[in-house]
Amino acid sequence: MNLDFESSWVQLSMAPSRFELWTRRLHVDLPLFAGLMTLSGVASVILYSASGQSVDVLLRQAVRLGLALIVMLAIAQIHPRHLRFYSPLLYGMGVLLLTAVLVIGEIGKGAQRWLDLGILRFQPSEILKLAVPMMVAWYLSERPLPPSLRHVAVSGLAIAIPVGLIAKQPDLGTAMLVGAAGAAVIFLAGLRWLYLFAVGALGAALLPVVWHFLHDYQRDRVLMFLNPEADPLGRGYHIIQSKIAIGSGGFYGKGWLHGTQAQLEFLPEKSTDFIFAVVAEEFGLLGCLGLLGIYLFIIGRCLYIVTQAQDSYARLLSGALTVTFFVYVFVNVGMVVGILPVVGVPLPLVSYGGTSMVTLLAGFGILMSIQTHRKLVAD
Amino acid sequence: MKYYASRRDALESRVFLNRLAFSAAFVLLGTLGMVVRLIYLQVVGHEHYAALSKDNRVKIAPLPPTRGMIYDRNGEVIADNIPSYSLEIVPERVENLAETLARLQTLLDLSEEDLRRFWHLKEQRKSFESIPVKMQLSEEQIARFAVKQPYFPGVQINARMIRTYPYGELTAHVVGYVGRISEADLKRLDPSAYSGTYHVGKTGIEKTYESLLHGKTGYQEVETNVQGRSIGVLDTVEPVPGADLQLSLDIGLQRIAFDALGEYNGAVVALEPATGRVLVFASKPSFDPNPFVSGIGKRDYDALQNSPERPLYNRALRGVYPPGSTVKPFEGLAGLAVAGLDPTRRVSCPGYFQLPNSAHQYRDWRKGGHGAVDLKSAITQSCDVYFYKLALSIGIDALSEFMGRFGFGQRTGIDLPDEKAGVYPSREWKRKHSKYPWFPGETVITGIGQGYVLITPVQLARAVAVLANRGRFVVPRLLDGKRAAGASADLVNPPPEGRDIDLPPEYWNTVIDAMIDVVHSGRGTAKGISAGLTYRIAGKTGTAQVFSVGQGQKYQESQVSKKMRDHALFIAFAPAEQPRIAVAVLVENGGHGGSVAAPVARAVIDRYLRGEAP
């Protein structure tokens, strides 16, 4: 069966309106764009409350969003062919910058994640969030699929290098997300279940070794997740307060700006990592379901785009980006509701802070590029 | 070929779609997991969490542990905890903080400094924590506030235990003091271990053994209503009090040392030679540590800081002084051990010494000289010329190495923070610290403990203890034991292995006999203290020059201003045959060691050996 045929059939059956043609020329996928805009709108309402009604915070977040949208639109203009061509280059650059950051950090004797380029300060690890899946997709799409064990091993190495460098910064959360993005590509490429289970078993066996190499604060986080009550004065405080905030929100919530946990400063990091607890407290279960619904809509639209993609590279990359986006949401919400350990991962597009927003929207830019550069009629 | 490719494509697509379906299932399952958890928390657990959060706010209130007490060797309390009332505010429960503080200020005469400190603390503390505005309220202040309490929601008077030092200035330089936790302290302390605690050891034993003294913070889950009143306790984890420490210090002996110094400034350190336990650790003048606990006022602090007598300066631990002639017994040992010195060989002392080809005269303290002296009489009479020559014949590097074995120019490792190391010079030391090479004349004056040599009183006392032990090396130590269970008494700087000084007994005998003569023979420089002794003291006087006298001039005590007068030193151990105490005394600007410093040592030794006041 031919996917091209299918898509062209869809296109033929519904004659494009002028508006659709216009958005297509701008390379904007309208449903996805609408989903993202809805999410950002809702996010600003939440952030206003979580930040203690700070207009200043909202404005700064809006500026970041604007910048991120420009990046998204710019990337959407690039043909997937070119994205593929530049994948190894971007990857190489990213790894180089990561090394630079580590070396500079070594000299400065301290943790270092930032690279200061005078006017611009950014985290190279953010580039890798996109560059790693791009690289692996580039590599595997050139080879027969499902991939052979050798090709899987090469891909695994391509993932492990930047992940190791990021984990050394130390930024365990980002390292995990980058690793997940690369792994998603391999999985989608058709990694045999047998290998998958083997890797899973190996991972489980290596867990004690990993534990050995973790920093004290990272161990604390895991231990505290397992038993938050052990240290209610210090690190367990976040989880306890977060659970109280969520639980006390109930079905309907306490109302916007009326969450006592959030407004009376019981809840730590409430405008960044723990912002989902504010949603849960003020808007209740309904609000949470609504927010998760928006996320599901965005992910659903992305999955649709993935099915429409016309070559292996586009399919693997778009699929991996979609899965990773869900992983972001899941890791953050899972942490806030207490089913996953506390890992410093923000709630995508809702948490305050700009570093991840640009990367996230750049990823959606890639999806839009893939969707809008399709050939409409089969050759 | 094309057929193959398309079949391959078909397989690839099928596998991909299969995996994509799995991914979609993962998304749905994950979402389901989150939703189930949310329902569990928000629907099933709602009542529980709502109760925790609603009107009743559950607060985790830290229960600070009681700080361990500190006792002297006889069980006298030298650091105590007494209840004290402090005015505290929970900022979150006050409507208008600035206005409330202004009203409190007029009501209770709060100083600007109290307010400044409060704002400072507020920055550092967790929300809903009670922050002290003023500690140690007087009865009158408590009464005045109690009447107006209803007008001050969120403000209350709390009883806390506060540190007090009953012996005040006697212990200030040993026990040290606790003070309010500063921003610098917060950087190195675990904030959760110190929540609810406002004091931390700043100096002395209080700082060294902070981890033992502090204890473990407990907590209480408290239900409070909107006004912030506690309406019930849900759960309590009791704090574990800090360990009580017993020091080897003898507070009675410490007082004797202080009194014996009289009007002079100086330091007295006495050790139990066999163990290195510190019996006396006195630095004078001292200061009252109690005001530091609740926060000393700026004016009082400046007065202490700027006083020309420098009471905050720990002379025993950080004061570096030339040891003068007190080094002579050690040097005698150096001569015997490394330079093949014949102790019976007599050296003539004309009252001065000249290096070959030099006109410079190194004078002896006795103008006419000591005549022909052997090692013992050179020590007993403290002949300078003998030791000028001896130092030259040993050579500076060998001398420096040997003296280092007694710990000269090195930190002793006593369990007190910020000890100074002092200097015992060598060629290499000078190369590092000066652009000039080592001059022979510098070896000459090193021979009488002058020149670059700088030692601390505690260092000198340790060297005396090692001498009294006939070579067994010890590290001075204040901590004698601890009373509370649970904490481990990890010794700070454990005594080093293999540092004992192994020399033939006759070497020790020669030098120690000479030191006995210093006190007990007619020509001894400290014969003045021998009257009425029922046991024998081995000692050595020393006089350290502060002011250098020009060539051909005469040092006249009466003509030199008090601050420029020589420092008087005396080292001793007793009983000479079976030493139970080793002492080093330094009297700043005291003049002669024999007349000023030796009586101080005698007073301390007497009291310790006889167990009574002299």
Q: Which two tokens stand for residue A112?
A: 């270092």
Confidence of residue B2 (pLDDT cuts 50, 70, 90): very low
Is B12 in Cβ contact with A264 (below 8 Å)?
Answer: no
What average pLDDT does the segment A166-171 reach? 79
A93 has a chain B CB within 8 A of its CB: no
Q: Which two tokens stand for residue A153?
A: 């091993």
- The tens digit of pLDDT for each residue in B584-595 reads 999 998 888 778
Which residues in chain B have their CB less than 8 angstroms from residue A190's CB? 12, 15-16, 18-19
Angle at A51 between CA A238 and CA B225, to 5 degrees: 60
Instruction: Give the closest residue to B343 by CA, choosing from B224, B510, B495, B97.
Output: B510
Confidence (pLDDT) at A18: 76
B36 has a chain A CB within 8 A of its CB: no
Which residues in chain B have their CB less than 8 angstroms from residue A264's CB? 57, 92, 127
Which B residues in the span 205-244 are in contact with A, Cβ-Cβ below 8 Å? 217, 219, 221
A235 has a chain B CB within 8 A of its CB: yes
Is the ipTM reported for this complex over the cut 0.95?
no
Which residues in chain A have their CB less than 8 angstroms from residue B46's CB? 247-251
For residues B279 and B272, the answer to whether their CB atoms sit within 8 Å is: yes
Using CB atoms within 10 A of its CB, is residue B475 exposed (0-12), middle (13-18) or buried (19+)? buried
The rounded distance, in Å, linking the Cα atoms of B131 and B91 is: 8
Cβ-proximal residues to B537 (8 Å cutoff; 6+ apart), any chain: B516, B519, B520, B529, B530, B572, B573, B574, B575, B576, B601, B602, B605
Longest pairwise C-alpha distance within chain A: 67
Q: Which two tokens stand for residue B478?
A: 């204040």
Cβ-proximal residues to B77 (8 Å cutoff; 6+ apart), any chain: B69, B70, B71, B166
Question: What one-character-per-residue DSSP string does B367-394 give?
Answer: TT--EEE-HHHHHHHT-HHHHHHHHHHH
- The tens digit of pLDDT for each residue in B193-232 reads 887 788 899 999 999 999 889 988 888 877 665 445 566 7
A293 has a chain B CB within 8 A of its CB: no
Cβ-proximal residues to A10 (8 Å cutoff; 6+ apart), any chain: none
- The tens digit of pLDDT for each residue in B448-479 reads 999 999 999 999 999 999 999 999 999 999 99
Among A158-162, B76-80, B146-150, whose mean pLDDT is lowest?
B146-150
Which residues in chain A have their CB less than 8 angstroms from residue B123's CB? none
Share of chain A above pLDDT 90, in %: 43
Whether A319 has a pLDDT exceeding 50, the answer reads yes
Cβ-proximal residues to A24 (8 Å cutoff; 6+ apart), any chain: A16, A372
- What does pTM read for this prediction? 0.62
A184 has a chain B CB within 8 A of its CB: yes
Which B residues in the span 180-199 are in contact with A, Cβ-Cβ below 8 Å? 190-192, 195
Instruction: Give the closest residue to B604 by CA, choosing from B258, B284, B326.
Output: B258
Higher local confidence (pLDDT), B117 or B607 = B607
The rounded distance, in Å, linking the Cα atoms of A142 and A154 is: 13
Is A292 in Cβ contact with B16 (below 8 Å)?
Answer: no
The Cβ of residue B93 has, within 10 Å, a number of other Cβ atoms equal to 18
Q: B198-210: buried (b, 16+ CB within 10 Å) or exposed (e) per residue?
A: bbbbbbbbbbbbb
The partner residue sitting opposite A244, judged by closest CB among B19, B20, B49, is B49
Cβ-proximal residues to B197 (8 Å cutoff; 6+ apart), any chain: B62, B64, B65, B181, B214, B217
Cβ-proximal residues to A37 (8 Å cutoff; 6+ apart), any chain: none
Among A137-151, A261-275, B553-567, whose mean pLDDT is lowest?
B553-567
How far from A64 is each of A59, A68, A128, A345, B396, CA to CA, in Å?
Answer: 9, 6, 20, 18, 71
Is A235 in Cβ contact with B35 (below 8 Å)?
Answer: no
Q: Torsion angle, CA of B574/B576/B579/B584, rounded to 10 degrees?
A: 50
Mutate to test the interface with B, among A152, A229, A244, A251 (most CBs of B within 10 A): A244
Radius of gyration of chain A (CA): 21
The partner residue sitting opposite B49, judged by closest CB among A187, A248, A315, is A248
The rounded distance, in Å, linking the Cα atoms of B569 and B548 is: 18
Which residues in chain B have their CB less than 8 angstroms from residue A333's CB? 34
Is A3 in Cβ contact with B219 (below 8 Å)?
Answer: no
The rounded distance, in Å, linking the Cα atoms of A291 and B210 is: 50
Whether A258 has a pLDDT exceeding 90, the answer reads no
Higher local confidence (pLDDT), A113 or B293 = B293
For residues B591 and B568, the answer to whether their CB atoms sit within 8 Å is: yes
B401 has a chain A CB within 8 A of its CB: no
The Cβ of residue B550 has, within 10 Å, a number of other Cβ atoms equal to 7
- The tens digit of pLDDT for each residue in B33-48 reads 999 999 999 999 888 8
The rounded distance, in Å, linking the Cα atoms of B220 and B203 is: 31
Beta bridge partners of B388: none
The partner residue sitting opposite B16, judged by closest CB among A190, A235, A292, is A190
For residues B246 and B482, the answer to whether their CB atoms sit within 8 Å is: yes
Q: What is the β-pairing status of strands B347-349 and B479-482? A: unpaired
Q: Which of B86, B294, B325, B382 is catalytic?
A: B325
B38 has a chain A CB within 8 A of its CB: yes
Q: Answer yes or no: B211 catalytic.
A: no
Which residues in chain B have their CB less than 8 angstroms from residue A133's CB? none
The partner residue sitting opposite A285, judged by closest CB among B43, B52, B60, is B43
Identify the residue whose tokens are 């009447």: B147
How far from A79 is each of A372, B66, B439, B549, CA to CA, in Å?
Answer: 9, 70, 82, 92
Q: What is the β-pairing status of strands B70-71 and B245-247? A: parallel
